[in-house]
Structure 1
Amino acid sequence: MSLRLPARHHDRLRIDTSLAIVNIVLLLIFFFLVAGQETRTPRDIRLAQTSQIAPSTLPSPILEIRSAKEWFLDGEAVSPELLPAALSGSDGILHLVIDKEAEASLLISALGHPELASREVRLVTLRAGPGQ
């Protein structure tokens, strides 16, 4: 009594992709679980505030911009048109102070000034002390 089983064809191997599909689905589930969580910001964040302080305590040269026509270089009033002449003696870094409530267009137009475009400009922020 012999049984004849059908012969196997080894030339046509099948690759089982079900394990790869399960892994991909699990990774997607984990990704959406992590990405979908709300992030909570700490409640003790305070924005920096600009206050008036003596220019002698700040690095030099420092340009303070209060409005489109009200510019101060090292505490002295200077018009935007005369800024190249006022900065002619300094070749270093220009420190720039502007109020956080100022419009962004004021900062962009100031940085587009030809004299400021050719030198390194650092934005200086000042923190108000307690009670201010």
Structure 2
Amino acid sequence: MDLPRVAPCVPGLAALKADGDDRYVGTLQAQAGPMRVNLSGTLKVVSQDADQGEAQFLLEAADRRIGGSVKTTMTLQLTPTTDGQTELTIATDTAFMGALGTLGQPIIRRKAAATVEEFARNLAGLVGNGG
């Protein structure tokens, strides 16, 4: 739940700073096929339960240049495994609105999935290195 420490694991995240309790503002830059997006928005911690190893987030961001926005609910679940490791499950539900949804939904969905996968790999590397 140390979001500033984990933030560098998110590919393309250019900035993230606290904006009150359980709320952060940030900017994410990504190239999705021929489209370059620069999403600025908020990340809100909706719920967290350290005992259950679960957290839920709401991300809302927009790219004013392209004229589109993204709304994502994300649930992270940590589950201990029998070999002493920890499994991370990430579930997302994303809506692309405006030009982002109209012009490039298939491309952007693939990019979003790849970004979540890269985040998970980066986070595993951070945790595995004692970060």
Bucket of the pairwise TM-score, normalised by the shorter protein: under 0.3
Larger Rg: 1
Normalised by the length of structure 2, the TM-score is 0.28
Greater relative contact order (Cα < 8 A, sep 6+): 1
The structure with the greater share of residues assigned to strand is 2
